[in-house]
Amino acid sequence: MDDYGFRTCPGAKAAADEFFRDKPEPVVMLSTGQAFAIKR
């Protein structure tokens, strides 16, 4: 997910966190500001 860790794009993190809230996969944030999740 692009822009996950950027303060200038708080909606990106909020949307991803909300979507994954009831999923078993964790959202992993990278030091570059992106994030990913691996589907089980």
pLDDT of residue 40: 81
Three-class SS state of 29: strand
Strands (E), the chain: 28-29, 35-36
* pTM of the entire predicted model: 0.82
Series of mean pLDDT values for 10-residue runs along the chain (40 residues): 95 97 97 94
Tokens for 28? 């992993």
Produce one character per residue of 22-35: b if its CB has 16 or more CB atoms within 10 Å, e if not: eeeeebeeeeebeb
C-alpha separations of 39 from 11, 21, 24 in Å: 22, 14, 9
